[in-house]
Amino acid sequence: MFEITKGRIDGAQKVVIYGPEGVGKSTLAAAFPDPLFIDTEGGTNKMNVSRFPKPTSWEMLKSEVREAKLMGCKTLIIDTIDWAEQLCITAVCDAHQKKGIEDFGYGKGYVFEREEFGKFLDLLQEVVDSGVNVVLTAHAKITKFEQPDELGAYDRWELKLGQKTGSQISPLVKEWADMVLFCNYKTYAVAVDDKGKKLRAQGGERVMYTSHHPCWDAKNRDGLPPELPLAWESLSGLFECAPNAVPERAVSQIVTTPPPQQSTPVPEPAPAAAPAAAPEPIGQAIIPDGIPKALADLMRANNVDEKDIRFVVAQRGYFPEDTPIANYPPDFVNGVLIGAWEQVYKMVTELCGVPF
């Protein structure tokens, strides 16, 4: 028998915030409860926020998402998802030894990217299921749009993803999200002269739109008004109870009555044992010059030395163990070491004893 539940189920939310550059997407995201940024483009350098190192590969980005589940934060922010998509495209091309997404032919590259990005959204869903809000920010672009059953075309705002990949990834992201917020500058009126000639737009208030419009995509499942001021106060009521917050419990002091005096003599306490020696800290990974930055970042984040990589590579019969990583072909580094880092790291932990 299946259990039937009724009523609203509250939990962590999946939010997409997009709009033109400089409108305040990152600032709004930073106001979410206990935010932790994965800054893919360096847009938070001037902000006082917690952040992971800038990911230099798709595998590094996924590793940071996995680690975020263990960090105890309440909101994970990827700023921005369109820059993250470029890491995905690079990883797909490297895995298939292609120079660009168009080199696959017959649109196969876009299919591979869509599958890989879908797996990434599944990974983000695991973060949400653990009680952490996930916020994706994105730039916006204006595209020419034409309804099949309407006459004429008009401009509309859309997620600024790849020129040709956006049609594959944008629907996935918007379907995945619980809330899509379009942020923009609101124009009140256009000034005209005494001859009726338009001069310039007036206004410039920043707002966010929460429901679908012919000129932009937006949605929410919380009954928000179609238009709100671009400020955290417009959303704070939905996130007042942090999904993974542990309620504070009052700790009562227990008063115990001392035991009655014993007539028998109390034995002298045994001498205190010497404190155990603290374990030696694990040293930093040794990464010589010449190793590509994307691989070096993964090695540094997982404390993997060059000798560990060379040993594993030699065990698989790719290159002799004394071959420096700097001498590995770029296709091997990008397609095997970086593209399949999870498997490489697993072999390192099994064969070299590197701790997780």
Q: Give the tens place of pLDDT for each residue, 306-352.
A: 888 888 888 888 888 888 888 888 878 887 888 788 888 888 887 77
CB 301 within 8 A of CB 339: no
pLDDT in the model for residue 290: 82
3-class state of residue 119 by DSSP = helix
247: pLDDT strictly greater than 50: no
Tell me which of 168 and 254 has the higher pLDDT.
Answer: 168
Phi-psi label, residue 13: left if phi above 0, alpha if psi -120 to 50, beta otherwise: beta
Q: What is the pLDDT of residues 132-180, one digit of tens each?
A: 999 999 999 888 776 666 656 678 888 888 766 657 888 999 999 999 9
Compute CA distances 246 → 37, 165, 243, 331, whole Å: 22, 41, 9, 47
3-state helix, strand, coil in the chain (%, to 5): 35, 20, 50
CB 337 within 8 A of CB 306: no
Alpha helices by DSSP H, listed for 148-255, are 166-176
pLDDT in the model for residue 240: 64
Element containing residue 39 per DSSP (H, E):
strand 35-39
Neighbouring CB atoms inside 10 A of 114's CB total 18
Cα torsion 140, 144, 147, 152: sign? positive
pLDDT in the model for residue 191: 60
Neighbouring CB atoms inside 10 A of 354's CB total 17
Range 331-348 burial, b when 16+ CB lie within 10 A, else e:
ebbbbbbbbebeebbebb
Euclidean distance between CA atoms 310 and 307, whole angstroms: 5
pLDDT in the model for residue 124: 95
pLDDT in the model for residue 246: 35
Predicted model pTM: 0.73
For the chain, give the mean pLDDT: 80
pLDDT in the model for residue 284: 73
Specify the domain boundaries for CATH 3.40.50.300 within the chain.
14-238
Q: What is the pLDDT of residues 65-94, one digit of tens each?
A: 999 988 889 999 999 899 999 999 999 999
Instruction: Specify the CATH superfamily of domain 14-238.
Output: P-loop containing nucleotide triphosphate hydrolases (3.40.50.300)
Q: 268 pLDDT band (50/70/90 cuts)?
A: low
251: pLDDT strictly greater than 80: no
pLDDT in the model for residue 282: 47
Neighbouring CB atoms inside 10 A of 26's CB total 23
Rounded to whole angstroms, the maximal C-alpha distance in the chain is 111
Q: List CB contacts of 270: < 8 A, sequence separation 6 or more.
A: none
pLDDT over 90, % of the chain: 35
237: pLDDT strictly greater than 80: yes
116: pLDDT strictly greater than 90: yes
Q: Which segments within 99-217 are labelled E, that is strand?
A: 133-145, 154-159, 179-192, 198-209
